[in-house]
Amino acid sequence: MSADLALVEEMTNEFLRTLSAASIPPEWKLSLIADPWGSYDRFRKKRPRDFLNMPIPPRINRPPGCGGEDGAPFSWRPSEGKSVLFLPRSLCVGAVILVKFLAAKLEGNYPDPETRDLTEVLNYRERLAREMLRSWGLPRDEGLIREGVLRSTKLWPFLAILLDDRVTEVYASVGRSPVIDHLDLGRREVANLKFDDAAFFKLKTIADSSPFTILDQLHPSAKVDLGVGNIRARISLDMDPFSPPSVDIRNLSALRSLSIPRLISGGYLDPRDASELIRGLVVGRPTLVVGPTGSGKTTLCNAILSCLPPGWRVLSVELVREIEDKENHGLMHQRFVAKNRSKEDILIDLLHRNPDLAFMGEILDKSHAEAFASAADAGLRTLATTHARDPDSLLRRWKRWHLAETVLESNLAIMGRNRALLGIFRFKSDKFIRIRAARDELSDILSSLPGHLTNRETAEALIGYWRRQK
């Protein structure tokens, strides 16, 4: 019962409503919030005549398997089959009533009337939560404070889930439980959460607040960036008549952990192929990372970019944020968002900046392909992702766009549905041939690096190698 979050929320809300209306002293109410059953038993014994006015706290049992790091607002617990339970810290330490009360007190509080930046609001409410707990004479628990602050927004529980940088993606359709992709747990249904219409429209407010995004019946599909503190996410929303209301949240914060060494140690990438792709970009061969949706195309691009020579100037032209800020990885990185202008127009303006590489984001249509081809024809090192089943199907599509020559001159990194690189292909002798990359110094270095390294740490580990190449 305790893991049924909807029931817990309902019981807690009802208790808080009843408590608010009860004719008992304010200090009693605070005691019942901080220590529900301990206070209830004490008051019943000491003040029996007031007992009838006192609401009965709900019995919320601590579920087995509660864990998580100190300061974390929730933890995961594997459940039956391929599912997990989302366990808020308050549920694990018996403080659901307190956290719900704290969240209600924090709602509507802003640093000033004009501030709506979510990062500033969360920081302000976190400070306010600490002050509230101190004024109530209660101990400070960082995990409960963070949970209360996150609950005070419209983005609970998704914002909390995105704090776990092992969660790479969250999918949800109205009426069903969300599904997560987790680096350690794999793909799991979150059995004790349900995504309903109210949750969808809370997320829709993010799209509605973006000046570049429209989501309505005439424009039933939209993508929007979310940046809160260290959290970076890309939210894709779909609604009728395109599809039943649904959301796909890609946790870009997880990209920092998905480094080349991590992909190699996980069996998703051969170090010789990694070296081939990196060296191919260095010598100027256009590179397309090809595969179906969710196959890890952007993950691979992001990891490769972190392995480029230090000091390179990288320009990224994206519809929405897709990769990490590479400034922290020893590169000079400038990001451009192609919202109201074509990628090709932006690229023309950027050519005079003499970049070492242009990351063109996702190639979705002919205009994007033309931008990629123009960059390659201008002598720019170019990298992009695109959807296709295999090299031949990609070539057929680009032939219809009269851009086949670009595909024939590119390295094609083909991704499988299992997120592994199936191989690097190049057109030779009238057909696509898989490149059998040879072992070299770079591949040896990459295979020797521990899998837990982040992209930033991987970039630092390669500094010596690039110095030797000069």
Give the tens place of pLDDT for each residue, 348-404. Answer: 666 667 889 999 999 989 989 998 998 899 889 999 999 999 999 999 999 999 999
How much is the pLDDT for 51?
A: 57
Q: Under a CB-based contact definition with an 8 Å cutoff, are residues 140 and 133 in contact?
A: yes
Q: What is the mean pLDDT of residues 45-74?
A: 72
| Among 122-131, 181-190, 315-324, 438-447, the least confident range | 315-324
How much is the pLDDT for 227?
A: 80
Rounded Cα distance, 362 and 319, in Å: 8
Give the tens place of pLDDT for each residue, 163-206. Answer: 898 899 999 999 999 999 998 888 899 999 999 999 998 888 88
The domain 258-468 is placed in CATH, from the list 3.40.630.30, 3.30.465.10, 3.40.50.300, 2.60.120.580, at 3.40.50.300
Integer-rounded Cα Rg, in Å, for the chain is 26
Q: What is the mean pLDDT of residues 227-237?
A: 84
Which residue is it, tokens 């602050």?
A: 149
Higher-scoring residue by pLDDT: 348, 278: 278
Is pLDDT of 2 > 50? Answer: no
How much is the pLDDT for 349?
A: 67
| Among 50-59, 172-181, 409-418, the least confident range | 50-59
User: Which structure tokens are listed for 452?
Assistant: 């837990």
E-strand ranges in 364-419 read: 381-386, 411-415
How much is the pLDDT for 1?
A: 33
Rounded Cα distance, 88 and 67, in Å: 10
Higher-scoring residue by pLDDT: 247, 71: 247
Q: What is the mean pLDDT of residues 220-240?
A: 84
C-alpha distances in angstroms, 391 versus 139, 281, 431? 60, 19, 9
Helix axes of 142-151 and 96-106: crossing angle, nearest 10 degrees: 50
Question: Where are the domain boundaries for CATH 3.30.450.370 in the chain?
Answer: 167-252
How much is the pLDDT for 68?
A: 55
Q: What is the mean pLDDT of residues 263-286?
A: 96
Q: What is the mean pLDDT of residues 314-327?
A: 84
The domain 167-252 is placed in CATH, from the list 3.30.70.270, 1.10.10.60, 3.30.450.370, 3.90.550.10, at 3.30.450.370
Q: What is the mean pLDDT of residues 226-236?
A: 83
Q: What is the mean pLDDT of residues 21-47?
A: 83
Q: Over pLDDT 70: what percentage of the chain? A: 93
Q: What is the mean pLDDT of residues 224-253?
A: 86
